[in-house]
Structure formats: C-alpha cells, structure tokens
Structure 1
Amino acid sequence: MSGKFELKKAKDGQFHFNLLATNGQVILSSEMYKAKDSALNGIESVRKNSQREGAFETKTSSNDKHYFLLMATNGQVVGQSQMYASAASCKSGIESVQKNAPSAVIDDQTS
C-alpha cells in the first residue's frame, strides 16, 4: 500500500488535507482552504515541492519538539508536520513525505 492524501471538509465549510504514510500515520497537514479546488492545488503543490531540493525547513518548537515545513517556490507554507521528539525522527518524516507524496492517491472524504 502506498501513502494517501485524505481530503476533508471542516465544520466551517473549509477544506484541508493530510498526507498519510503507508502505516496510516499523518506525516503532513495542510492549511485550511476556502475552496475544494484550492485544496486540490495544494495537494499538487505537495507532490511537486516534496521532490524539490531545499523545500523543507526544519524547526524546533518552544518545548524542544522538532517539526518541518514544506515550502512552495514562492515561500508559502504548503504543509506542516507533526511534532517529533528528536531531530532524527523529524528527518525520517521528511523522507517519508518525499517517498509517499508523488504517488499518493487522493481519498476524497468531502461528500
């Protein structure tokens, strides 16, 4: 089984998606989008940018947890990871996005 994008609709009517690894764990979450087409464009941006050199920025939160941001070429955040206990596990999360995003199917749960 490959990874998948879960496209969802929030209670306020906005759209968002999560990229799940083959084990079902969320490895990347999107921002909220007003339109479904915008969320689908966000998924395509994740597919493209996950393969681009320098697209990932690693960060450390105020409680010393590690996370990463996936950036578009225009500098906008395309997605954010969960919090990781170590820098090594954060790096593994990036590698999982790089591996799973290009071929991940879209599971549209908005209907």
Structure 2
Amino acid sequence: MTGKFVIERAKDEQFYFNLKAANGQVILTSEMYKAKASAQNGIESIQKNAAADDNYERKESKNNKPYFVLKALNKQIIGQSQMYSSTSAMEAGIASVKSNGPGATVEDLTL
C-alpha cells in the first residue's frame, strides 16, 4: 500500500491536503487554498518535487524541534511537516515523503 493525499475543507471553507503514509500517519501538510483546483495543483507539485533532496529545507522551531518544508522549483513552500522529536526522526519523515509523494493517490473528502 502506498501513501495518499487527502483533500479536506477547513472551518473557514478553504481547502488543504495532507500527505499520509501507508500507515495513515500525516507526513506533510499543505498551506490553505481558496480554490480546490489550487490544492490539486499543490498535490501535483509535490508529486513532481518530492524525490529531489534539494527541495527540502530542514528547520528548527523556536522550541528546538526539527521539522522540514518542501519547496517547488520556484522556491515556494508547498508543504510542511510536523514537529519531530529528533533530527533522525525528521530525516525519516523526509524519506517517507520522498517514497510516498510521487505515486500517492488522491482522496477527496470535500465531495
């Protein structure tokens, strides 16, 4: 079983998606989009950009928790991870996005 993108609607009616690993764990979350088509374009961008390590920016939160963002070729952020307990856990998250993102299916919960 591979990962999947799940498109959802926020309370303010905007669209967002999560990339979930095969075990159902969220490994990447998008920004908010006003239109579903924009969220779908974000998914396509992740599918195209997830495999390249250069597209990941490794960061640290104010409380010293590692996390990462995935950027498109134009350097715009297209997804952000959760906060991790260690750098090695963050690197495992990046590896999961690399392996799940390109071939992930899409489940639309907004229908």
Whether TM-score is above 0.5 comes out as yes
Equivalent residue for 1:19? 19
Count of residues in correspondence between the two structures:
111
Is 2:97 the partner of 1:70?
A: no
Ranges in structure 1 where 5+ consecutive residues have no aligned partner = none
Q: How far did residue 26 of structure 1 move?
A: 0.3
Residue 81 of structure 1, CA deviation: 0.1
Structure 2: gaps spanning 5 or more residues: none
Structure 1 residue 22: Cα displacement = 0.8
Equivalence for 1:101? 101
Identical aligned residues as a percent: 56
TM-score, reference length from structure 1: 0.97
2:9 is the alignment partner of 1:9: yes
The amino acid across from 1:27 in the alignment is: I
Cα distance change of structure 1 residues 53 and 94 upon mapping to structure 2, 3 Å threshold: closer
Aligned AA for 2:62? Answer: S
**What does the per-residue CA deviation read over 1:79-99, in whole Å, with 9 as the maximum and x for residues that have no partner?**
000000100000000000000
CA distance, structure 2, for counterparts of residue 84 and residue 110 of structure 1: 29
CA gap of 1:86–1:53, structure 2 versus 1, over 3 A, is closer
Q: Which is worse superposed, 52-61 or 94-103?
A: 52-61
AA aligned to 1:18 is: N
Equivalent residue for 2:61?
A: 61
Give the superposition deviation at 1:102: 1.0
User: In structure 2, the residue corresponding to 1:54 is in which secondary structure?
Assistant: helix
Q: CA deviation at 1:51?
A: 1.6
Shift of 1:75: 1.2
Equivalence for 2:40: 40
TM-score, normalising length: structure 2: 0.97
C-alpha root-mean-square deviation of aligned residues, in Å? 0.8
